[in-house]
Every structure is written in C-alpha cells, then in structure tokens.
Amino acid sequence: MESNHSTVKRTRRWPILALMAAIFVAGFLLGSQSTISFTRSEENSEGNTSLPAEVAPLFDSLYETYNLIEAQYIDMPEPEVLANGAIRGMVESLDDPYSNYVDPEYYPFVSSDLEGSIEGIGVLISTDEETGETVVVNILGDTPAERAGLQEGDVFILVNGEDAVGLTFLELAARVRGPAGTTVDLTMRRDEELLEFTVERARIEIPNVASELLDNNIGYIYLAEFSSVARSQVDAALAQWDTENLNGLIFDLRGNPGGLLTTATEIAGLFLDEGVILIEDYGDGEKEIYRVQDGLVIQTRIDGTERTYSTNAAYSGVTAPVVVLIDGRSASASELVAGAWQDHGTVTLIGATSFGKGTVQLQNSLGNGGGVRLTVARWLTPNGNSISGQGVIPDIIVEIPEDAELAEGEDPQLQAAIEFIMEQQPIPAGQ
C-alpha cells in the first residue's frame, strides 16, 4: 500500500490554531468532535419526547415565550426556526465544545460514519480560539479546493451568503459539504482582502494510510484517522513486509484527529496481545472496560455482562522495536491508542504531548430530522489516568516549534524515531 510520502509529510505539519482541528473534506468533522462513541446502553433517552415530571414546570416559560413571539413579534418566523433555535441554545448552554446540534437541513451531511471517502471540497480547518473564526490550515491535493485556488490561512466569512463566524464546526461543515457536482459559494478573507469562490463539490477519497520501507529495514506507517477501514488498511500495509525480520517499525499518529471507538480498539490490538485498552467513566460511578484478548475486543458492561464486538484486533506479530509518533494534533482515538500502548509498555512514544481530548461523544438523531452530538463519558487509560486537558506525554519528547523553518524532507521527530530504533540493536549500515 505505497503512498506518496511527500503528502504524508505535508499533513504532519498542520498548525494548531485552536482547541481542535479536524479533517473537513467539505463537511464531515473527523477528529476531536467525531464519533469515538457510543458504548453505553441508550437507557430510553432516544425518542423520548416527554419531560420528567420534576422538571416539566421549568419549561413552561419556553412555551410561554413561543406564544408571545407568535402573538406580538412583527415578523413571525417559521415555527421550525424557533424550535431549532431553542434546541441549539439548550445544547450550547452545556458549554462543551464537543456537544453540538445540527438542524434537519444539514444533518444528513454530517451523520455518516468514517468510510474513507466523502463528498465535499477537500480542506482541513481549525478554529482560531481568540477570534472564533474558522481558518483553512491545509488543502488536500487534487481536490476542488485546490483547483479553485483556496489557500492555507484563508478565513471563512460567508458560506452561500450566510455569516460563517457564528457557526459551530458541525454547522459550517454541513453547509460546505454537499452532493458531488453541486457548488458552494464561499467568501474568504486572505490577509485584508475578501475573495469570492464558487467551488464544485466532488467525491474525495481521503488518503488514510501511507507506508514505506525506510533504510535499515525499518517499516513506516502513517495513519491519518481511525476510519471504519483503518485496521484492514494497516494490515495490508504490514503484509508488504516480512514483519518477523523488520529491524523496527514506526507508526505515525501525528496530526491524526481521532475517529471511531471500534476502530481504535481494533488498532490497539496491533501491539497489544491482551490487556485493558480503556476505561469509560460515566461520571456517576459507573464504568465500562474494554480489553483485547485472543484477537477479540471484549466490553465489560456496567452490569458486569460481557460483549464481544470486534474480531479484527489480532496482534500483528511485530517483535521488533515499535515507535509511535504523536504531536499536539494527535487527538481523541489517537490518544486512546497511544495511551493504552504506553501503559502496557509495548511501544515507545516519541514526539510532542498530544492534544488532550479524553471524552466520548454519542451522535443522536432527533424526530425533526436533526441531530445532537453529546459528550456521554470520559475515557481513562488502562492505568486509570485521564488525559483531558493534558494529553499523552511521550516517552521521548522532541518538540518542533510552530514557526520552525525546516528544509524539504527534514523531520526531527521521524529522525529521532529512526535513531532510537537503531540504538536498540546493531544494524549494519546500508542493510
């Protein structure tokens, strides 16, 4: 599964502009707001349209406000607009950047799983924490965004005439994404200039795994995100090589913003033959435990029962030293997997401290056709440590300043990984 290594290097150096970064292939938000979720039984919450008796009186004023608007407001909007605003306000009051509401018009564009392809324009974005603006931090190659002339650093001002500054990640993503062949009108700010773009959307294959056999018989695998097919893609990359005779393996999770919980647990089985992968803490004293055993992922539920839900977690059989590269853009599922391997001592982590997203989200569909994504749990490493707000700290720290001017092909973290592997055993030069 060979891939253009220069593309990999470019994706590794995306700047950090805010508290999250996400692949935004014109719409679906991967990564720190994506679905590392749902694991707990759904406890009759979905589809329940009645309020608990003890809180029902608190919402009387909500209905009263609607009636007042209908009776008195000069330009009565459609009732759906008011309902969407009420739901959005309720979710925003949680003050949780990972909990969001998407209205029915746009929800279909953000409710799909991570399947490795998507219809959109092909950019990676981040939110500037100080200004609240959404900024392009990378353009995927050979995509509509690249062909239209969008550039890194461009700021979203308008999307189809709508103010983009007040939109959440999911809302902005949903508005830019759309069926292949349709267009989206964008107003972007570049430095002090406003630029207009009409970009035709396309189906984009997200480059997820790249692999290369480096000098000295060291395998290198880069994983962009934990999509539903990531484990099988990584297995295919490993199958290229005689893994029993590798001198080392470098598994690169830098810039990987996360993905699916099921895939994360499958990937954990690569370098963990058995043992706990993570603990989910629901904040009320209840916990669920995930472990890998005999190539299976086993979930121990709150009530003590067990469920085997994945058979794609077999140990890779790699016996050579394994280095995992992480950085400040490695988030969510990346941190889950790196943290599990670190606690079990099966790999050596090199790079910079990871992002620090230690929560789990559940995506819920609503009766109106919209959807709500809510934080439902915190996850802990096998040793019971939370990484929220502090990240996973590498065993060997190699920082790369954001303003560092590196020569073409220069990668201090990758070089540190190679040197570490070569120190573990004598390797004849040029082998």
Residue 360, in any domain of the structure: yes
Average pLDDT over residues 380-404: 92
Residue 349 pLDDT grade (very low, low, confident, very high; cuts 50, 70, 90): very high
Burial bucket for residue 197 (CB in 10 Å: 0-12, 13-18, 19+)? middle
176 shares a domain with 214: no
Question: Domain for residue 24, yes or no?
Answer: yes
Residue 358: φ, ψ to 5°: -115, 35
Residue 26, domain extent: 5-37+107-205
pLDDT computed for residue 111 by the predictor:
60
Of the candidates 187, 126, 139, which has an alpha carbon nearest to the alpha carbon of residue 25? 139
pLDDT given at position 138: 74
Residue 383 lies in a domain: yes
How many domains is the chain partitioned into structurally?
2
Last residue of a domain, one of 176, 205, 234: 205
Give tens-digit pLDDT for 136-182.
Answer: 877 878 899 999 999 988 999 999 999 998 787 777 888 898 899 99
Does the CA dihedral 13-17-18-21 come out positive or negative? negative
Domain identity same for 233 and 329: yes
* 220 lies in the same domain as 189: no
Same domain? 221 vs 190: no
The mean-pLDDT minimum among 49-63, 99-113, 163-177 falls in 99-113
| Segment among 36-45, 58-67, 142-151, 328-337 with least mean pLDDT | 36-45
Q: Are 156 and 199 in contact (CB under 8 A)?
A: no
| Domain-terminating residue out of 166, 190, 205 | 205
pLDDT by residue (tens digit) across 371-386?
998 988 899 999 999 9
Q: Which of 161-170, 188-197, 314-323 has the lowest mean pLDDT?
A: 161-170
Which listed residue (99, 343, 354, 411) is catalytic?
343
Structure tokens of 272? Answer: 């963990």
At 46 the pLDDT is 54
Please tell me whether residues 133 and 233 are part of one structural domain: no
Residue 44 is assigned to a structural domain of this protein: no
Check if 294 is active-site. no
Q: Is the same domain home to 174 and 284?
A: no
Query: Is 260 found in the same domain as 138?
Result: no
Ramachandran class of 244: left when φ > 0, alpha when ψ lies in -120 to 50, beta otherwise: alpha
Shared domain for 393 and 360, answered yes or no, is yes
| CATH number of the structural domain spanning residue 393 | 3.90.226.10
For 99, 287, 289, 384, the CA distances from 284, given in Å and listed in that order, are: 19, 9, 15, 16
- The catalytically annotated residue of 332, 334, 354, 411 is 332
Encode pLDDT of 230-253 as tens digits: 999 999 999 999 999 999 999 999
Contact yes or no for 125/31 (Cβ under 8 A): no
What is the distance between the alpha carbons of residues 398 and 357, in angstroms, rounded to a whole number?
A: 21
Greater confidence, 47 or 124? 124
Residue 2: what pLDDT? 30
pTM above 0.85, yes or no: no
Active site annotation includes 357: yes
CATH number, domain containing residue 193: 2.30.42.10
Q: Which of 205, 222, 246 is the last residue of a domain?
A: 205
* SS3 track for the chain: CECCHHHHHHHCCCCCCCCCEEEECCCCECCCCCCCCCCCCCCCCCCCCCCCCCCHHHHHHHHHHHHHHHHHCCCCCCHHHHHHHHHHHHHHCCCCCCCEEECCCCHHHCCCCCCCEEEECCEEEEECCCCCCEEEEEECCCCHHHHHCCCCCCEEEEECCEECCCCCHHHHHHHHCCCCCCEEEEEEEECCEEEEEEEECEEEECCCEEEEEEHHHEEEEEECCECCCHHHHHHHHHCCCCHHHCCEEEEECCCCCCECHHHHHHHHCCCCCEEEEEEEECCCCCEEEEEEECCEEEEECCCCCEEEEECCCCCCCCCCCEEEEECCCCCCHHHHHHHHHHHHCCCEEEECCCCCCCEEEEEEECCCCCEEEEEEEEEECCCCCECCCCCCCCCEECCCCCCCCCCCCCCHHHHHHHHHHHHHCCCCCCC
Q: Are residues 215 and 304 in the same domain?
A: yes
Instruction: Decide if 401 is inside a domain.
Output: yes
Question: Is 354 a domain residue?
Answer: yes
Same domain, yes or no, for 416 and 386?
yes
Which of these is catalytic: 227, 310, 357, 411?
357
All residues at 6 or more sequence positions from 247 whose CB lies less than 8 Å from its CB, including other chains: 216, 217, 218, 320, 421, 422, 425, 427, 431
Q: Band of the pLDDT at 22, cuts 50, 70, 90?
A: very low
Query: The tokens of 346 are what?
Result: 């099966």
Output the pLDDT for position 38. 40
Is the domain of 378 the same as that of 278? yes
Active site residue 287: no
Residue 196 within any structural domain of the chain = yes
- Regarding whether 241 and 173 lie in a shared domain, the answer is no
Q: Identify the weakest region by mean pLDDT among 3-12, 151-160, 308-317.
A: 3-12
* Residue 323 lies inside a defined structural domain of this protein: yes
